Structure 1
Amino acid sequence: MVGLDTSHCVAFTKLFNDPRATGDLGAVDVVAAYPGGSDDIPASRDRVAGFTKAMRESGVEIVDSIDALLAKCDVVLLESVDGRPHLEQARPVIAAGKPLFIDKPLAGSLADAIAIFRLAEKHKVPVFSSSSLRFGAGLAELKGDAKVGEVLGCAVHSPCELESHHPDLFWYGVHGVEMLYTIMGEGCETVVRTHTDGTDVVTGTWRGGRVATYRGIRGGKADYGGAVYGTRGIAAIGKYEGYAPLVAEIAKFFRTHQPPVAASETIELFAFMEAADESKRQGGKPVAIAEVIARAEKEAAAREE
């Protein structure tokens, strides 16, 4: 495990190392960890020592470098709460051929996200990234629910705290956007954002005229939820169920080397969030996803080596 500055590291380790775990989950143990940490983000700097202590007390060996970690493991969980170092942290893991899960946010920029997947493709190493919200009970199944019919759109809400070193939605809004993409899939063409101190509303228009909306909440009660709109009915999106469904998917991925989320979908998801920032910079004008990806691909090319 790389990055001990998030509660995920302790929570995931408890699930993986549970002696009662069976199947794929029972075949994975967290055995070593590199703490990492970012001095300019309090949410990282002020927590890494405490989580490192908890991991050590749980029996996980603490090492002083990623290279030292790679000598002790078969697969890697990249958990650093700060997305900016993820590309550099992923490089040696990918070069070593280790299957890699990268926790949210995948990266600190869309260009870095693209560069990570390009490196993985070049070295033929399986990599995936996802929020735990994608794997809540029944969420993906709503796309094929006969009572809903063909999905025409959705409206999703989630907490949306901001962190100044990341694009606005990357830090926490990614959870809600992950839910949105679980329902809608790829194909968003344009993004429009309305921003206030307490709220963000981001509307995406998909090919064929489908529309989905993300509401990021900073003022008032913040929770996860939403609704799916179909040709036959409207269905509520279920409540958040914790980390267990995601951890089960990670364990399966480590065994099969088959990512449960396509790289192309994750890239578009991050492009959606980057386009939301660009719309904000332009005063709420529509921004084309394709143009955002094209710019980022040029930047990514210089970061692959």
Structure 2
Amino acid sequence: MKKIGFIDYYLDEWHANKYPDWIKEASNGEMTVAYAYGKRDADNGLDNAAWCKEKGIQLMDSIEAVVEASDYLIVLSPDHPDQHEELCRLPLQSGKPTYVDKTFAPDRATAERLFQWASDSGTPLFSSSALRFASEADAVRQEGIDAIVTFGPGQYANYSIHQVEQIVAMMGSEAERVMWTGTDATPALQIGFSGGRFASIHHFHDSAFQTSINYTEGGSASYKVESNFFGSFISRMVDFFRSGQPPVPQEETVAIIAIIEYGYKAMKTPHQWLELPRS
């Protein structure tokens, strides 16, 4: 049985609570989360020792110990991407397949640095929102898209990744500029892509994830995400661990982080285009 190690800011959080059972099921028992490290205890919830005892997972006293003992690595901290650089340093020098939870990095420079560490050490690496793997997105034509509008719940800080991930997965990494048009209560971001293509994300409190697409040559498509996208995502993670082949291109992940980062900058000058950095 292959052993997976968790590395987290604190362990009692939703993703860490759910992933162990989902991974075991998706891998038909071939993989198990065996080790875990948390930098600190959760403010509200189980401390790391109690969490590990409840889950039957061995608590390790350092990231180095988790890396050494594990076959595969998952860096979590899904709502604290500012912690990823510190938490990822040893995993991304290990040569062991490593998944880094959303949101990958707080800014483009950090994202590029993490990928460079992985490249220098030959460490297979990927990161993604689970929404990328929703079956509804797979069912629509992704060639010839002229414009996409997405809706979803949550705050821009930790939920914009879900909408931007779907957009970049379908439109590619050639985003050129962003413009903030939302309010504090209802964030919205416009994204200009190469060739005059366009996308728009909108946060509407408890809205379902919904997407509408227009095609350059006419026609349209729309979908509401109702599938078990987390199940599809975990299956892709398991495949990644087996093969060492990332299912998401590096350039798309970097583009997603740049869009989110520059979205924050665009908030300060609403209704004005802000150019994105080009490689």
| Distance in 2 of aligned mates of 1:236 and 1:264 | 26
Please tell me the residue identity of whatever aligns with 2:197: R
Q: Could you tell me which residue of structure 2 aligns to residue 70 of structure 1?
A: 67
Between 1:227-236 and 1:112-121, the stretch displaced more is 227-236
- Where do 5+ consecutive residues of structure 2 fail to align? 1-5
Structure 1 residue 122 displacement after superposition: 1.3
1:76-95 matches, cutoff 5 A? 76-81=73-78, 82-95=80-93
Query: For 2:154, which of 160, 165, 171 is the aligned residue?
Result: 160
| Distance in 1 of aligned mates of 2:46 and 2:102 | 17
Q: Could you tell me which residue of structure 2 aligns to residue 256 of structure 1?
A: 243
Cα separation, partners in 2 of 1:25 and 1:156, compared to 1, 3 Å: farther
Please tell me the residue identity of whatever aligns with 1:30: V
- Where do 5+ consecutive residues of structure 1 fail to align? 39-43, 162-168, 295-305
Query: For 1:136, which of 134, 137, 144 is the aligned residue?
Result: 134
Please tell me the residue identity of whatever aligns with 1:107: A
Q: Could you tell me which residue of structure 2 aligns to residue 164 of structure 1?
A: none
Cα separation, partners in 2 of 1:53 and 1:94, compared to 1, 3 Å: same
Query: For 2:163, which of 155, 159, 176 is the aligned residue?
Result: 176
| Paired-residue identity, % | 25
Between 1:225-234 and 1:188-197, the stretch displaced more is 225-234
- The answer to whether the 8 A contact 1:100-1:127 is kept is yes
Structure 1 residue 187 displacement after superposition: 1.2
Higher normalized strand content (fraction of residues): 2
1:14-25 matches, cutoff 5 A? 14-18=21-25, 21=26, 24=27
| Distance in 2 of aligned mates of 1:121 and 1:184 | 25
Query: For 1:190, which of 177, 184, 188 is the aligned residue?
Result: 177
Q: Could you tell me which residue of structure 2 aligns to residue 32 of structure 1?
A: 35
Please tell me the residue identity of whatever aligns with 1:91: R
Runs of 4+ in structure 1 deviating by more than 3 angstroms, as ranges, are: 51-55
Between 1:184-193 and 1:239-248, the stretch displaced more is 239-248
1:61-87 Cα offsets, whole Å, 9 max, x none, are 111211111222011011113111111
Query: For 2:213, which of 228, 238, 255 is the aligned residue?
Result: 228
- The answer to whether the 8 A contact 1:140-1:183 is kept is no
Query: What's the Cα RMSD here?
Result: 2.1
- The answer to whether the 8 A contact 1:137-1:238 is kept is no
- The answer to whether the 8 A contact 1:204-1:211 is kept is yes
- The answer to whether the 8 A contact 1:37-1:48 is kept is no
| Distance in 2 of aligned mates of 1:121 and 1:207 | 28
Cα separation, partners in 2 of 1:232 and 1:191, compared to 1, 3 Å: same
| Distance in 2 of aligned mates of 1:14 and 1:252 | 16
SS at match of 1:33: strand
Q: Could you tell me which residue of structure 1 aligns to residue 14 of structure 2?
A: 7
| Distance in 1 of aligned mates of 2:139 and 2:181 | 30
Please tell me the residue identity of whatever aligns with 2:37: Y
| Distance in 2 of aligned mates of 1:143 and 1:55 | 44
May I ask how many residue pairs the two structures share in their alignment? 269
- The answer to whether the 8 A contact 1:95-1:123 is kept is yes
Q: Does 1:206 align with 2:193?
A: yes
SS at match of 2:103: coil
SS at match of 1:284: coil
